[in-house]
Amino acid sequence: MAALSGTVRARERNPNMKMLRTGGAAVMAAALLGVSACGGSGEDAEAAGGVEEIRLWLNGTDTPQELRDYLVETFEEETGATLVIEEQDWSGLVPRLQTALASEGQTPDLVEVGNTQSPTFTYAGAFADISDLYEEIGGDRLLPGFVEAGTADDTVYAVPYYSGARAVFYNKDMFAAAGVEVPTTLAEFSEAAVALQAANPTGAPGFSGFWLPGQDWYNGTAWIYEAGGDLAVQEGDEWVGGLSSPESQEGLAQVQALYTGATSAPRDADSEEPWVPFNNGEAAMFSAPTWARWSIDLPECNKGVDPADESAEATALRGEQQACNEEKTGVFALPGTDGGAATVFAGGSNIAIPAKSGNQELARELMRIVFSEEYQTMLAENGLIPGNRDYADALGDDVYAQAALAAAENAKLTPAAEKWADVEGARILEDFFQEIAGGADPAEAAAKADELIGNTLN
Amino acid sequence: MPAPRTTAAVPPPAPPRAPVPPVPPAAPAARRPRRRTPFRSRLGPYLLLVPAVAAIAVGLGYPLARQFVISFQEYGLAQQFGRPAEWVGLQNYVTLLTDPYVWTVIARSIAFCLLNAGLTMAIGIALAVLMTKVGRAARVTLQVGMLLAWGTPVLATMTVWQWLFDSQYGVVNWLLAEPLGMGSMRFHSWLIEPLSFYGVATVIVVWMSVPFVAFTVYAGLLQVPEECMEAAQLDGANAWQRLWSLAIPMVKPVLFVVALLQVIWDLRVFTQIHVLQRAGAPTRETHLLGTYIYSLAKEFSMAGAMATIMLVITLGLTVFYIRRMLREEQL
């Protein structure tokens, strides 16, 4: 900046000065126009030709195309109206819902929302009361934790769409090379991870026994839950952070030990795409929802087929490749302290009818289709734990289904606090686990995080 | 939605323009005998202003007014869905301004802004001067390179930068570790320490803003009359003196405007910081005003109050420039 206010000597009159000044103003004006030109692009939901149309928002690619087609076709058969499915990105979903759900012109008629985001909108009055529909679409057969997350003051607003519990994937060859058995308790799991890291069967630099990135609180929380701790607890009308409790601290000590001796994952990474280092031979284990099986691509199995190639030959090769990957990869539910499955963090989503939707009746019709036996079964067949527990059998009985069901049995949601989404929005837990990964004193870091959680929730 | 806007978190201060003109009654004026300035030609300039003023009133005026009103209410998600908003007076401002963390964020933002604006100006001017000195081929190469840097969409470039600095697979770490032999940098995390985070952010922000400064200043330098430079040269001024005492003062108005815009842009920087935070930085340790307001955005009233505070800071930082610019306009 000093360079600008230097010797101001020349105030000579020069015809060009005027031009330069005008030039400056033009630059300014251009910049301002650039700013004000950022208009919004509104969506026009009006259907043409008098046919009623409703819109369903689904997030990410978790719902396969086959299921989407089924919804569209069945809905048209049963009601004569058109269903438009619009796919939304998980990232940035909360602010998008905040604006869209509040406007009658923009709101979708049925909306999928992450289970941890559900209470925020439920308490805000964003969703229509569906208590009278509750029994008809499954009642107490619906996943209870998810129903709780969608209920405010004994009124049901959002119901479970699907759940996906996390299971641990491991490389069988690496287990054999390091002489490690599949662990049956949480302590054995830690030992196995440390042993694998020390053995480093591939010799890759930065090898991880268990891939646990610094910001991965989705997986780290399992240790807190398993030790009997919680992220936040309700005391009277107040929510208080639960990371400082002796139970949580015990779990955190175990997590920190894993960070020290069992993982080389970067502290600045999160739970996204944990299969990448696994595929690269840089990690022996990772934890993810069981549909991660489709992302495993070990080099020794790769046949170099173009994923877009639809020919019979390519499809056969891809099938071989998948079989090879699944043969070399094992999966188990994270074991609990005393055996069995640990209490892990449950992922998944809820589905609800926005209060501002002008097509309440049609939306309820669609809700009935979603909770029909056919659709719930289709969800299960595609590896998602369906909202209605009665149809979970359709998951099949392969190792993935078994691991998913075992993990889901004890899975637990984040605290059902009205403002829990704010805790996630502020990334308090990402920051906290990153500090734990960096070797911070767990008690000190927890005290700081608890204060932030308490301030945010109340 | 008051705050979470990537492009216009805080509107730049009003342009140095005439205020909205009161439209005089047209009919009687038209019939009057035209003696001095004809009315139509007096009205003309104001009419030409109308589209710009209207665009600003709709695009900036309304959100600004709404943000201001909301900042005195308790306005959250529930109010968005129809619950009546309560007036709370200055409470939001008091809460924010008594929080030491807010002051930390403000101090960080101002430091970041001044450092980045300064660096951008220095490098931009240097490149502009370089462009006047080098041959055609070199100049065109420079210009094309800078145009590409300027023209690539922010998110696309951010993805590339993120990959470059990735701690596990990033090229920067690989370069440092493999060819340069600094083995300890192989898995170095650039984003985890706030200072190094801001270092990376500064590289990116400066890289993105330099082309604008360089092009504008270069255009200015082209307008400096050749004969003045020649005269100075004959008087024995060396190249440095000619630049420093002649060319720079002549393009000063351009420099002022560009510097002003840089200060505004760098104070409200959002996209780069937000993306880098998402790439794994500790969020709370690295907030600047833009991202902090975004993090408040579930409590619209708080975000509105914070955005208003930010507007005041922007005006405070730029008032010197604006006054100076207005004065120069009048000369």
Shortest Cα–Cα distance, B31 to chain A (Å): 36
User: In this structure, what token pair is assigned to residue A86?
Assistant: 């619009």
Query: Which residues in chain B are closer than 8 Å to A435, comparing Cβ atoms?
Result: 282
Query: Does residue A4 lie within any of the structural domains?
Result: no
Shortest Cα–Cα distance, B69 to chain A (Å): 18
Tell me the C-alpha distance between B290 and A126, whole Å: 27
**Is the domain of A336 the same as that of A224?**
yes
3-state secondary structure B230-281: HHHHHCCCCHHHHHHHHHHHHCHHHHHHHHHHHHHHHHCCCHHHHHHHHCCC
Per-residue pLDDT of chain B (331 residues), as tens digits, is 344 444 444 444 444 444 444 444 444 444 555 556 667 678 888 889 999 999 999 999 999 999 999 999 988 888 888 788 889 989 999 999 999 999 999 999 999 999 999 999 999 999 999 999 899 999 999 999 999 999 999 999 999 999 999 988 899 999 998 888 887 888 888 998 999 999 999 999 999 999 999 999 999 999 888 888 889 889 988 888 888 888 889 998 899 889 999 999 999 999 999 999 988 889 999 999 999 998 887 788 999 999 999 999 999 988 887 888 788 766 5
- The alpha carbon of residue A201 and the mean position of all alpha carbons in its chain are separated, in whole angstroms, by 31
Query: Which residues in chain A are closer than 8 Å to B219, comparing Cβ atoms?
Result: 23
Shortest Cα–Cα distance, B34 to chain A (Å): 31
Residue entry with tokens 């268990």: A210
Each residue of A31-76: pLDDT tens digit? Answer: 444 443 333 333 344 444 467 899 999 988 788 888 999 999 999 9
Query: Of A1, A125, A215, which is closest to B81 when you measure between CB atoms?
Result: A125
Angle at B132 between CA B128 and CA B134, to 5 degrees: 110
Tell me the C-alpha distance between B12 and B10, whole Å: 6
pLDDT attached to residue A41: 36
**Is the domain of A360 the same as that of A424?**
no
Number of domains in chain A: 2
Each residue of B215-232: pLDDT tens digit? Answer: 999 999 998 888 888 898
Sign of the alpha-carbon torsion through A203, A204, A205, A209: negative
Q: A385-386 and A53-59: which strand pairing?
A: unpaired
Helix A15-36, helix B39-56: angle, nearest 10: 40
Interface of B with A in 33-72 (CB under 8 A): 52, 55-56, 59-60
Contact flag A120-B77 (C-beta cutoff 8 Å): yes
- Tell me the CA distances in angstroms from A246 to A64, A223, A228, B326, one per residue in order: 43, 13, 9, 64
**Is the domain of A65 the same as that of A98?**
yes
**Is the domain of A143 the same as that of A231?**
no
**Cβ atoms within 10 Å, residue B94:** 12
Contact flag A430-B283 (C-beta cutoff 8 Å): yes
Each residue of A124-175: pLDDT tens digit? Answer: 889 999 999 999 998 888 888 888 888 888 899 999 999 887 889 999 999 9
Shortest Cα–Cα distance, A303 to chain B (Å): 24
Domain that holds residue A319: 166-345+416-457
Contact (Cβ atoms closer than 8 angstroms) between residue A208 and residue A437: no
Tell me the C-alpha distance between A196 and A258, whole Å: 12
Query: Which residues in chain B are closer than 8 Å to A11, comparing Cβ atoms?
Result: 249
- Tell me the CA distances in angstroms from A209 to A199, A239, A296, A338, A427, one per residue in order: 9, 36, 17, 22, 27
What share of chain A has pLDDT > 70, as a percent? 89
**Is the domain of A385 the same as that of A301?**
no
Q: What is the CATH number of the domain that holds A379?
A: 3.40.190.10
Query: Does residue A24 lie within any of the structural domains?
Result: no
The complex scores an ipTM of 0.74
With b meaning 16 or more CB within 10 Å and e meaning fewer, what string describes B105-118? Answer: bbebbbebbbbbbb
Interface of B with A in 116-155 (CB under 8 A): 117-118, 121-122, 125
pLDDT attached to residue A307: 75
- The alpha carbon of residue A385 and the mean position of all alpha carbons in its chain are separated, in whole angstroms, by 15
The strand pairing partners of A111, in sequence order, are: A57, A352
Task: List the single best residue of B10, B81, B184, B314 to mutate versus A (max A Cβ within 10 A).
Answer: B81
- Hey, is the C-beta of B98 within 8 angstroms of any chain A C-beta? no
Query: Does residue A45 lie within any of the structural domains?
Result: no
**Is the domain of A111 the same as that of A141?**
yes
**Is the domain of A351 the same as that of A434?**
no
Query: Does residue A20 lie within any of the structural domains?
Result: no
Tell me the C-alpha distance between A127 and A158, whole Å: 7
Q: Is B179 exposed, middle or buried (0-12, 13-18, 19+ CB in 10 A)?
A: exposed
Shortest Cα–Cα distance, B76 to chain A (Å): 9
Within a 13 Å sphere around the CA of A443, how many CA atoms are in the beta-carbon half?
1
The strand pairing partners of A341, in sequence order, are: A335
- Hey, is the C-beta of B220 within 8 angstroms of any chain A C-beta? yes
Query: Does residue A44 lie within any of the structural domains?
Result: no
Contacts of A155 (CB under 8 A, 6+ apart): A129, A131
- The alpha carbon of residue B90 and the mean position of all alpha carbons in its chain are separated, in whole angstroms, by 29
Sign of the alpha-carbon torsion through A195, A198, A199, A201: positive
**Is the domain of A150 the same as that of A242?**
no
Per-residue pLDDT of chain A (458 residues), as tens digits, is 333 333 333 333 344 444 444 444 445 444 444 443 333 333 344 444 467 899 999 988 788 888 999 999 999 999 989 999 999 988 778 888 888 998 888 999 999 998 888 888 898 889 999 999 999 998 888 888 888 888 888 899 999 999 887 889 999 999 999 999 999 999 999 999 999 999 998 888 889 999 999 999 999 999 999 999 999 999 988 999 999 999 999 999 999 999 999 999 988 888 888 999 999 999 999 998 887 888 888 888 888 887 777 788 888 888 888 889 888 999 999 999 988 889 888 888 999 999 999 999 999 999 999 999 999 999 988 888 898 888 888 888 888 888 888 888 778 888 888 888 888 888 899 999 999 999 999 999 999 999 999 998 88
**Is the domain of A59 the same as that of A71?**
yes
Contact flag B81-A215 (C-beta cutoff 8 Å): no
CATH of B99-330, picked from 3.30.565.10, 3.40.630.30, 3.40.50.150, 1.10.3720.10, is: 1.10.3720.10
Interface of B with A in 186-215 (CB under 8 A): 186-187, 189, 191-192
- Tell me the CA distances in angstroms from B261 to B13, B216, B257, one per residue in order: 10, 12, 6
Task: List the single best residue of B200, B267, B298, B318 to mutate versus A (max A Cβ within 10 A).
Answer: B298
**Is the domain of A285 the same as that of A430?**
yes
Taking the domains of chain B in order of start, what are their residue ranges? Answer: 99-330
The strand pairing partners of A162, in sequence order, are: A349, A386
Query: Which residues in chain A are closer than 8 Å to B257, comparing Cβ atoms?
Result: 24-25, 27-28
Q: What's the pTM?
A: 0.78
Query: Does residue A103 lie within any of the structural domains?
Result: yes
**Is the domain of A303 the same as that of A451?**
yes
Contacts of A1 (CB under 8 A, 6+ apart): B114, B117, B118, B121, B259
Query: Of B60, B224, B255, which is closest to A4 when you measure between CB atoms?
Result: B255
